Amino acid sequence: MKNLRKENKNEKNINFILSLFLIALMCQALVACNNTVGEKGIWESAIYTEDTEFGNVSRAVLVEVKAEDRSVIFKINSDREKLGEALIEHNLISAEDGAYGLY
């Protein structure tokens, strides 16, 4: 019985030490990631920073993209039936057909 208690105590100690090691590792990973967003924020590397219109077909959809304290509205004119197809048509996204739609 004493052996069993001793083994449980050893297991608890090992689990505690392992937990501390993993916490330290996660903290190091968070510090290593650092904030790579520049002074202008995520908009610094954006291709479109102003409202933009794509295509010249009468059928249109408006897509508003909001990030931080800014937003941009895209007017996408297309004769496509699905939004994903229209976005691909104007090279706004890239995707592949999958079993459940675009990926």
Is the confidence at residue 100, as pLDDT, over 60? Answer: yes
Tokens describing residue 34 = 């650092």
CA-CA-CA-CA torsion sign (58, 83, 74, 61): positive
Cα 88–62–45 angle (5° rounding)?
65
Residues 91, 74 contacting (CB under 8 angstroms): no
- Cβ distance 59 to 77 under 8 Å? yes
pLDDT tens-digit series, residues 30-43: 777 665 556 667 88
Q: From CA 61, how far away is CA 76, in angstroms rounded? A: 5
* pTM of model > 0.85: no
Q: Where are the domains of the chain?
A: 1-36, 43-95
User: Over the stretch 2-21, which tens digit does the pLDDT of each residue have?
Assistant: 555 656 777 888 888 888 88
pLDDT digit string, tens, across residues 44-71: 888 888 999 999 888 888 889 998 888 9
Residue 52 has a pLDDT of 92
pLDDT, tens digit, 9 for 90 and up, residues 21-30: 888 888 777 7
